[in-house]
């Protein structure tokens, strides 16, 4: 089930902050203050994940300029996050990442967001088992200041994300809030948008 248009599940969890400090993240602390780009990734010390995590870091100032807090989450522990952050990039690490990385070791955050790669059940002997992969998909959620999800994407494990697309989505959301216009296919900041009416659509299409 999609979370778009619904309240994002709140959570409090351990995290590595500022790239070098083990602490805690409470999602409620951001309500009314900042928008959030919350992204889940499968595992520390893997292959596609560091390319995404480091690309989020490269674009970190662009998110901050838009008033958006970037937060990463996986089902690893804080200690695993910390060790990976202390590992140089030329050795497969993510040294230099400064935004929070949340530890969802209990897997409850991933389950509440509906993006855990499997589910718990019982086998024929009534023993609890897990079907699938007990790690998060490559899921991303753009959450507004009221804690409502405005955009989400979910990729299967081998498919990396385009980080620029989240900036485009955020720009479109901000344009709608500021001008009341809706953003057509392929819209980027500075492009023509449309008034949400049949006349508005006709006018836009006649020009494009």
| Longest Cα separation, the chain | 66
**Spatial contact of 39 and 72, defined as CB atoms under 8 Å apart:** yes
Alpha helix positions (H), the chain: 48-58, 60-65, 78-85, 108-112, 163-179, 198-207
Beta pairing partners, 155 = 138
Report the distance separating Cα 171 and Cα 106, nearest Å.
Answer: 34
Report the distance separating Cα 80 and Cα 180, nearest Å.
Answer: 44
Instruction: Please give the positions annotated as active site.
Output: 49
Report the distance separating Cα 73 and Cα 25, nearest Å.
Answer: 11
**Spatial contact of 183 and 196, defined as CB atoms under 8 Å apart:** no
- Backbone CA torsion sign across 46, 50, 53, 56: negative
**Spatial contact of 54 and 94, defined as CB atoms under 8 Å apart:** yes
């Amino acid at each position: 089930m999609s979370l778009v248009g619904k309240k994002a599940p709140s959570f409090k969890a351990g995290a590595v902050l500022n790239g070098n400090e083990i602490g805690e993240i409470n999602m409620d602390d951001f309500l009314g203050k900042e928008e959030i780009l919350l992204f889940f990734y499968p595992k520390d010390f893997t292959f596609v994940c560091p390319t995404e995590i480091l690309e989020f870091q490269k674009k970190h100032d662009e998110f901050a300029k838009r008033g958006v807090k970037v937060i990463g989450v996986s089902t690893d522990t804080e200690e695993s996050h910390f060790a990976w952050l202390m590992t140089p990039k030329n050795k497969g690490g993510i040294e230099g990442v400064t935004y929070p990385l949340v530890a969802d070791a209990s897997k409850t955050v991933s389950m509440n967001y509906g993006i855990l790669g499997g589910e718990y059940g019982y086998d024929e002997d009534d023993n609890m088992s897990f079907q699938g992969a007990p790690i998060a998909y490559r899921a991303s959620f753009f959450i507004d200041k009221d804690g409502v999800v405005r955009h989400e994407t979910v990729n299967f494990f081998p498919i990396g994300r385009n980080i620029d697309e989240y900036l485009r989505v955020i720009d479109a959301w901000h344009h709608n809030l500021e001008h009341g216009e809706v953003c057509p296919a392929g819209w980027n900041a500075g492009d023509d948008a449309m008034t949400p009416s049949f006349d508005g659509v006709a006018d836009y299409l006649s020009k494009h």
